[in-house]
Structure 1
Amino acid sequence: MSQNKIDLLLELNSESPNDPFPYFALAKEYEKISEYDKAIEQYKKLVNDFPSYGGTYYHYAILLIQSQKNQTALEIIESGLTVLLDNGDRHLYSELAGLKENYFE
């Protein structure tokens, strides 16, 4: 089932390269099948090409923490907090701040 979703999302990415959602969904699908390097690639693309897509930072940081890449996770959290504060997204900001508090303070 996941491979069908992955194929569909890859097609959506090629058809709508300026839409961040398929990249995010693709990252989550790669996580489901333990393709963590591929998931990280998608999250990196989101952070670089769609920095305002706020949900990326929390999920990306969680994956990095689970992969024991704590320094990179902290950097992603810090970047995300700045973006979310600038965007006025208090809900996602508080979730990401809570993640930082739970793992790094």
Structure 2
Amino acid sequence: MDRITQLKEFLQANPGDNFLKHALALEYIKIGEDNTAKSIFEEILTQDPNYIGSYYHLAKLLERTGDTDAAIAWYEKGMEAAKKAGDKHAYGELRSAYEELTF
């Protein structure tokens, strides 16, 4: 059984599990299904803006696919969420990626 099928089965049992959704989005990136991954990351962040890890991966995906403005916006949202959560490590990673893109 491939990882995508396995993750989908886990999600049927736990549809609100953002960790599983995040893992599924990463698997879609691995096989070049960027639009599917993007939709999953956006769903996660719409339902739970405090799921900090997805900001970085969504912004990187957008950056890689040429949507720089959207990537910058997601980095900014992620930095704000990380700051509110007191997650200095995530804030630093998001800020570093943001600065690399904007400077």
What TM-score do you get using the length of structure 1 for normalisation?
Answer: 0.93
**2:32 corresponding residue in structure 1:** 34
- Report the equivalent of 1:50: 48
What SS does the corresponding residue of 2:101 show, helix, strand or coil? helix
Gaps of 5+ in 2: none
Q: Deviations over 1:33-80 (max 9, x none)?
A: 001111101111111112111111111111100000111111111111
Counterparts of 1:14 and 1:77 in 2: how far apart (Å)? 30
Identity across matched positions, percent: 34
User: Deviation digits for residues 2-43 of structure 1, max 9, x if unmatched?
Assistant: xx1111111222211221111100010000000111110111
Query: What's the TM-score, normalizing by structure 2?
Result: 0.95
Tell me which amino acid in the other structure corresponds to 1:64.
L
1:23 aligns with 2:21: yes
Question: Unpaired segments of 5 or more residues in structure 1?
Answer: none
Name the amino acid aligned to 1:32: K
- Alignment RMSD: 1.1
